Amino acid sequence: MEQASPLRERAAALIHMLRAEGKRTPSLAMIKSEREIAGIREAGRVNSLVLDAVAAMIGEGVSTAEIDNVVMRETKRLGGKPTCLGFQGFPRAVCTSVNEVICHGIPDERVILRKGDIVNVDCTTTYGGYVGDASRMFIIGQADAAARRLVRVTEECLALALAGLGPMMPLGDIGYRIARHAHENGYTVVREIGGHGVGLSMHEEPFVSHVTAKEGQGMLLLPGMVFTIEPMVNEGSRFFTCDKRDGWTVRTADGRRSAQVEHMLLITEGGYEILSR
- Residue among 214, 150, 207 at smallest CA distance from 180: 214
Site string for Co ion, 97-126 (x = CB under 5 A): -------------------------x----
CB-based contacts of 70, cutoff 8 Å, min separation 6: 53, 54, 57
- 95 contacts ligand MF3 (rule: CB under 6 A): yes
DSSP, collapsed to helix, strand or coil, labels residue 82 as: strand
Cβ proximity to ligand MF3, 84 vs 275, nearer residue: 84
DSSP, collapsed to helix, strand or coil, labels residue 71 as: helix
Select from 8, 32, 41, 104 the one that contacts ligand MF3 (CB under 6 A): 104
59: amino acid identity, one letter = G
Site string for Co ion, 17-56 (x = CB under 5 A): ----------------------------------------
- 240 contacts ligand MF3 (rule: CB under 6 A): no
Q: How far is the CB of 112 from ligand MF3 (least distance, A)?
A: 21
Residue 73 φ/ψ, nearest 5 degrees: -65, -45
Contact 213, 176 (CB under 8 A): yes
Q: How far is the CB of 105 from ligand MF3 (least distance, A)?
A: 9
104 binds, among Co ion, ligand MF3, none (CB under 5 to 8 A by kind): ligand MF3
Contact 238, 247 (CB under 8 A): no
Q: Which one of 12-20, 78-86, 159-167, 259-267 is the stretch in contact with Co ion (CB under 5 A)?
A: 259-267
Rounded to whole angstroms, the Cα distance separating 102 from 66 reads 20
Where does this chain bind ligand MF3 (CB under 6 A)? 84, 87, 90, 95, 104, 122, 124, 133, 228, 230, 262
